[in-house]
A = this chain, B = another copy of it.
Amino acid sequence: MTKDENSAKRPTLKDVALAAGVSVATASYALNDVGSVGGDTRRHVLEVAARLGYRPNLSAKAMRTGKTSAIGLILPDLTNPFFPALAQNVVHAARESAYSVFVTDTQGSPEAERAAAQALIQRGVDGLIWFPINDEDTLAHLTGGLPVLVLDRDNPRHDLIQIDVDSGGRMAAERLIRAGHRRIGVISGPTDVRSSRQRSESSAEVLRRHDALAWHLHNAYSFDLEPTVAAAVADGSVTALCVGADLIALGAINTLRQRGLRVPEDVSIIGFDNIPYGALAFPGLSTINIPVEEMGIEAVNTLLRRIAKPTESRRRLVFDVTYVERGTVAPPPTP
Chain A residues in the interface with B (C-beta under 8 A)? 6-8, 55-60, 62-63, 68, 70, 77-79, 81, 83-85, 87-88, 91-92, 95, 98, 100-105, 107, 115-116, 118-124, 144-145, 223, 247, 250-251, 253-254, 257, 276-277, 279-282
Contact = CB atoms under 8 A, between A and B. Distances in A.
Contact of A105 (B7, B55, B88): B88
A79 B8 CA distance: 37
A265 to B, nearest CB: 14
A204 to B, nearest CB: 26
A102 B100 contact: yes
A279 B79 CA distance: 14
Contact of A124 (B57, B84, B116, B118): B57
A169 B84 CA distance: 28
Contact of A257 (B59, B84, B119, B282): B282
A286 to B, nearest CB: 16
Contacts of A77: 88
Interface SS, A side: helix
Contacts of A123: 58-59, 70, 100
A283 to B, nearest CB: 9
A116 B96 CA distance: 11
Contact of A79 (B88, B247, B281): B88
A332 B241 CA distance: 36
Contacts of A101: 102-104
B62 A59 contact: yes
A91 B63 contact: no
Contacts of A91: 78, 103-105
Contacts of A87: 78, 103, 105
Given A84-B83, A223-B280, A107 B92 contact: yes
A59 B55 contact: no
A254 B280 contact: yes
A220 to B, nearest CB: 15
25 contacts: A6-B144, A6-B145, A57-B122, A59-B62, A59-B68, A60-B63, A63-B63, A70-B102, A77-B88, A78-B85, A79-B88, A81-B81, A81-B276, A87-B103, A88-B105, A88-B107, A91-B104, A92-B105, A98-B119, A100-B119, A102-B103, A223-B279, A223-B280, A254-B282, A277-B277
A124 B77 CA distance: 27
Contacts of A254: 280, 282
Contacts of A70: 102, 123
Nearest to A283: B257
A59 B276 CA distance: 39
Nearest to A119: B100
Contacts of A223: 279-280
A260 B250 CA distance: 22
Contacts of A55: 118, 121-122
Given A78-B84, A254-B282, A119 B95 contact: yes
Nearest to A59: B62
Contacts of A63: 57, 59-60, 63
Contacts of A116: 95
